[in-house]
Copies of this chain bind each other. A is one copy, B any other.
Amino acid sequence: MTFLEMLQAAQQRNRSLLCVGLDPEPTRFPAGLKGDATRIYDFCARIVDATGDLAIAFKPQIAYFAAHRAEEQLERLVRHMHAAFPHVPVILDAKRGDIGSTAEQYAREAFERYEADAVTLSPFMGFDSVQPYLKYPGKGAFLLCRTSNPGGDDLQNQRLASVDGQPLLYEHVAKLAQGPWNLNGQLGLVVGATYPAEIERVRALAPTMPLLIPGVGAQGGDAVATVKAGWRADAPIVVNSSRAILYASSGEDFADAARREALRTRDVLEAAKG
């Protein structure tokens, strides 16, 4: 099964476009776990158990584990995701970007050590920084394309004189990913939810690729506009929400509150398909 097929199966099974992002910050954990980095697994596993049947994917963000020496907890967490929800793919959010043998090491980290189904990557170093990940045929890779942070404009929104049609840099990335770089249909694109017109533009340039769309929920993107701009029946979008779900309650009911928020967001996204 390819990564794209995994996504499509999870989308249908859970009737969901919602990606549950796991950005664990111990200082925001509920009482009993609060401030305790040795409990990252426990907190995240509760969130996984409460939301897995509502998700198209899980997306753990490795930085939050690495800052707390919690690599072993991340390994256990992904194993738990696969065991509890074998039909929900796991996207390791790592935004790696390096070449040659170094990229091979990062691919090994993501796919062999952490057993992720896909990884996020930066395209800045070009195709040979992406290629080593494509050697794992069942795995996927989402390339940063257009991000919705203020600095997203600094490079991504620059117009290129050197490429026919003078696209913006992020449009150039989308074209490369849809075309020459996508050897085995393993690639997807990361596109921020803040500007639906840009999601539409990326979708036009990359009609068959999955789009990973962060920024719904705590980051303020509009869920309905996002789905209308990006979703196609034959090309999944993966709409991430992290903090709005993880920290829906700071009380003992945090897992129940996470489920309510996930369900609410899942339903908003489903309804927006129209």
Given A63-B103, A125-B147, A126-B147, 8 other A-B residues pairs in contact with their CB atoms under 8 A: A63-B98, A63-B105, A64-B102, A67-B112, A97-B122, A124-B144, A127-B154, A160-B161
A100, A128, A151, A173 — most chain B CB neighbours (10 Å): A151
Kindly list chain B residues whose C-beta atoms are within 8 Å of the C-beta of A102. 23, 61, 63-64
Copies of this protein in the complex: 2
A-B contact pairs, 18 of them (CB 8 A): A61-B105, A63-B103, A63-B105, A67-B106, A69-B113, A97-B144, A122-B124, A125-B147, A126-B147, A126-B154, A127-B150, A128-B149, A128-B150, A154-B176, A155-B169, A158-B162, A159-B161, A160-B160
Q: Do residues A66 and B25 form an inter-chain contact, with CB atoms below 8 A?
A: no
What residue in chain B is nearest A103 (Cβ atoms)? B63
Interface size on A, residues (CB 8 A): 55
Partner of A169, one of B97, B169, B176: B169
Kindly list chain B residues whose C-beta atoms are within 8 Å of the C-beta of A169. 155, 158, 169
Which of A61-117 touch B at CB < 8 Å? Answer: 61, 63-64, 66-67, 69, 71, 95-103, 105-106, 108-109, 112-113
Which of A34-69 touch B at CB < 8 Å? Answer: 61, 63-64, 66-67, 69
Binding site for B on A (CB under 8 A): 23, 25, 61, 63-64, 66-67, 69, 71, 95-103, 105-106, 108-109, 112-113, 122-130, 144, 147, 149-163, 166, 169, 172-173, 176
Q: Name the 5 nearest CB pairs between A and B, nearest first.
A: A126-B151, A126-B154, A161-B161, A63-B105, A159-B162
